Structure 1
């Protein structure tokens, strides 16, 4: 009986991760195809009514969305967590009477650690940081896709756009932790097993936002994120890399060529540990100067580097591993 339960648990874990990967890769396209298809069937009124409502509801993602605890607490996320497994590590207390901007690193191929830790309750964020509400900010273009946008909002995801961040940090009270995967698409192209590279030397927008609203900066590093897939790294200047960069410039994300284990797209069963660092106190500056932005950006990079080196050994890396910031 115990063995049967173990097999069932393994099966549920695989299914939970597979559905998430498939959603990550294909759900947006599937939603678009479905809505267009319905327009040419007897169900066209449904599609028409949805598009009318979509126009009326267009600004909702940037005005607080429609977050639901029900979706964030789905049992499927617990199986998703256990597949790797994903673990959330707290290194300092966070004051629920303040707002925060978490910088999450690295992006990896699919930002599994950031999603599991901050967009679901699978890793126990609410219990670890009572009074603090995490909000993962993702590519704004996803919220223009019908049906998908509603699913994303229900899980508490928000567009990584200025209006959205302004709303979360100024009109949603205190205790908000806005999570931004700073490296974005450029960092995903650098993702590869054994590599600890983050793209952020020129990424200063999140620091400026933090200063404008007096939100403390919190570095976050997810160990194991880059180990999940083997990516085909195209050399700089090659035709394939130029096409990737062009696609990234137009669409906002980069098409990565990668392989996992089973079914090719299933990630490896590698432990993932998301470590949340200590907050960096940031003053409120309505119009921050470039010197102030540079100062706190430097403090942030130093804090991220310290966080990496203090936790790398306990998270499975050797003492010789270095963090490369580009």
Structure 2
């Protein structure tokens, strides 16, 4: 099926199969919801709350009750009861399958993991939204339960997301975990509840800042000065597992500005002030491929490497942290170079770029 180009805009062919159109609709609706709830929650939650309290008669009581709920229901790791039931439904829902098959997203393991252990999965690159990781690990659509039976999965996400009304609840039922050191340390030091026997904590080491480095065909990752994950792994004696999302950076392009320019300084200020990058996305639309907020339909393969064992050192020194940080970087490069030929076009010209 060849796209139709009119005035420089590439439109989807008229004979696109119904299944593909349905996948596009589900993905478009899903990402539109995420964008709207995140942007509204981050930048407008206080304005909306004040407006509802002052100018509405009924909504004010819902706002007040929800505020009380936020204060008392603050155990971010509690996913039991109704939450657990809804989480399981969401992981296996038709929506998850449509989102997974849209790209498609595949999950590959290169070695078996002991289901009775705790692991720290370090994923690269972050991309714009870490879509591959969220679908591969946050749902069962890519076969996570079959590949890693008995291992509970938790995806570490921005602390700011847990301060966003409504989106906070979504994060909790989709295997999210707070990015604070205390939260990650708790996950790496405690066994999960039954029926799980082990746990994998997924960390995007580059974080939100790495999203600003995401460009199609590149693998620029922020890791040279980020060593906190090594400290936590050593403190708990938890193996570090390299994970690479091949194709993640191809889902979106973004508008870039020169270093030192006013737009660049403004976007950097917003990222530092609010904790999230304000990125001008270049995706596709429902019926055309040239612009929009829907990710491009390109494959993403999340490959899980073999674990790097580390000793348990309750108070690791800087020298020990540097030593194992360097060992992990070497392991990550070897892993990437070995696997890239299976999933990357012109693989000989593509390499990891450490920032």
1:298 paired with 2:308, answer: no
- Aligned partners of 1:118 and 1:299: how far apart in 2? 26
Deviations, residues 210-229 of structure 1 (Å, cap 9, x unaligned): 11111110111111111111
- Aligned partners of 1:206 and 1:247: how far apart in 2? 25
What are the equivalent positions in structure 2 for 1:43-54 lying under 5 Å apart? 43-54=59-70
- Aligned partners of 2:48 and 2:200: how far apart in 1? 35
Q: SS at 1:261's partner residue?
A: coil
Q: SS at 1:60's partner residue?
A: coil
* Counterpart position of 2:58: 42
Task: Tell me the CA shift for residue 37 of structure 1.
Answer: 5.5
Aligned with residue 280 of structure 2, among 253, 257, 262? 257
Task: Tell me the CA shift for residue 17 of structure 1.
Answer: 1.3
- Aligned partners of 2:30 and 2:157: how far apart in 1? 16
Deviations, residues 169-216 of structure 1 (Å, cap 9, x unaligned): 223345111111111122111111121211100011111111111111
- Aligned partners of 2:266 and 2:213: how far apart in 1? 16
* Counterpart position of 2:241: 218
Task: Tell me the CA shift for residue 119 of structure 1.
Answer: 1.3
* Counterpart position of 2:179: 160
- Aligned partners of 1:23 and 1:277: how far apart in 2? 33
Task: Tell me the CA shift for residue 35 of structure 1.
Answer: 5.3
1:83 paired with 2:102, answer: yes
Q: SS at 2:341's partner residue?
A: coil
- Aligned partners of 1:18 and 1:197: how far apart in 2? 27
* Counterpart position of 1:20: 30
1:204 paired with 2:227, answer: yes
Equivalenced residue count is 321
Task: Tell me the CA shift for residue 103 of structure 1.
Answer: 0.8
* Counterpart position of 1:287: 315
* Counterpart position of 1:3: none
Gaps of 5+ in 2: 1-15, 287-291
Q: Let me know the Cα RMSD of the aligned residues.
A: 2.0
Assess, with a 3 A threshold, how the Cα gap between structure 1 residues 273 and 299 changes in structure 2: closer, same or farther: same
Task: Tell me the CA shift for residue 29 of structure 1.
Answer: 4.2
Task: Tell me the CA shift for residue 30 of structure 1.
Answer: 4.3
* Greater Cα shift, 236-245 or 219-228: 236-245
- Aligned partners of 2:277 and 2:246: how far apart in 1? 22
Q: What is the TM-score when the length of structure 2 is the normalising length? A: 0.85
1:232 paired with 2:255, answer: yes
What are the equivalent positions in structure 2 for 1:102-251 lying under 5 Å apart? 102-173=121-192, 175-251=198-274
Q: SS at 2:76's partner residue?
A: helix
Task: Tell me the CA shift for residue 77 of structure 1.
Answer: 0.9
1:61 paired with 2:61, answer: no
Gaps of 5+ in 1: 1-5
Displaced runs of 4+ in structure 1, greater than 6 A? Answer: none
1:266 paired with 2:281, answer: no
- Aligned partners of 1:119 and 1:249: how far apart in 2? 27
Cα pair 1:102 1:219 within 8 Å, conserved: yes
Q: SS at 1:313's partner residue?
A: helix
Assess, with a 3 A threshold, how the Cα gap between structure 1 residues 165 and 63 changes in structure 2: closer, same or farther: farther
Bigger radius of gyration among the two: 2
